[in-house]
Amino acid sequence: MKNKHVPLPFGKIDILLCILIGLISLSLYIRTLAPSLLWGDSAEFQTLSYTLGMTHPSGYMTQIMFGKLFTYLPIGNIAYRVNLMSAVFATVAIVNAYLIIRLLGGERVAGVSASILLMVNEGFWWRALIAESYAPAAGMLASVWLLFLLWRHTEKWYFLFLAGLAGGLSVGIHSTVVMTSASVLVVMVLTARRLKDWISAAAGALIGALTTFGFFLLLDYRDPPSSIYNTVYRPNLSLFRLQLSDFDTPLERFFAIFPANSFWSYYFTATIDEINRRLLEYILYFPNWVFILILLGIFILLFSNKWQDALYPLIAFLIIWGFAISVSFSVYREFYVPIWVIVYVWFGVGASAMLKFLKQLFSQKQTIANIIHLILSVLLIILPIWHARLDITRSIQRGFPTFVQRDHIYPLYGPNKAILDATRVLNRIEDNAILFTNWDKLYSLVYTAHIEYSRTNISLHEWLTDNPQLAKSAIEYIEKNIDERPIYFFIVEPQLPDTFRIEQIHDELYRVYKN
CA 267 – CA 9 distance, rounded (Å)? 39
Q: How confident is the model at residue 3, as a pLDDT?
A: 47
The mean of the pLDDT values for the chain is 92
Q: For the segment 416-474, what is each residue's pLDDT rounded down to a tens digit?
A: 999 999 999 999 999 999 999 999 999 999 999 999 999 999 999 998 866 656 788 99
Q: For the segment 3-57, what is each residue's pLDDT rounded down to a tens digit?
A: 445 677 788 999 999 999 999 999 999 999 999 999 999 999 999 999 999 999 8
Q: How confident is the model at residue 181, as a pLDDT?
A: 83
Three-state DSSP state, 487:
strand
CA 37 – CA 80 distance, rounded (Å)? 7
Amino acid found at 384: P
In the chain, the domains with their CATH numbers are 12-226+261-398 (no CATH), 417-514 (3.40.190)
Q: How confident is the model at residue 193, as a pLDDT?
A: 83
> For 405-414, what is the mean pLDDT?
92
Q: Residues 34, 146, 322, 181: is their CA dihedral positive or negative?
A: negative
Residue 1 pLDDT grade (very low, low, confident, very high; cuts 50, 70, 90): very low
Portion of the chain with pLDDT greater than 90, in percent: 76
Residue 262 pLDDT grade (very low, low, confident, very high; cuts 50, 70, 90): low
Q: How confident is the model at residue 2, as a pLDDT?
A: 47
Residues 6+ apart with CB under 8 A from 128: 29, 86, 87, 89, 90, 91, 135
Q: For the segment 291-310, what is each residue's pLDDT rounded down to a tens digit?
A: 999 999 999 999 987 788 89
**456: exposed, middle or buried (C-beta count within 10 Å: 0-12, 13-18, 19+)?**
middle
Task: Give the range among 175-184, 345-354, 409-418, 471-480 with minimum mean pLDDT.
Answer: 175-184
Q: For the segment 75-127, what is each residue's pLDDT rounded down to a tens digit?
A: 999 999 999 999 999 999 999 999 999 999 999 999 999 999 999 999 999 99
Q: For the segment 126-159, what is each residue's pLDDT rounded down to a tens digit?
A: 999 999 999 999 999 999 999 999 998 888 999 9
Report how far apart, in Å, the C-alpha atoms of 441 and of each of 181, 230, 235, 354 are.
35, 16, 17, 51
First to last CA, the chain: 76
Q: List the one residue out of 388, 381, 306, 288 whose CA is nearest residue 349.
A: 306
- The pTM of this model reads 0.94
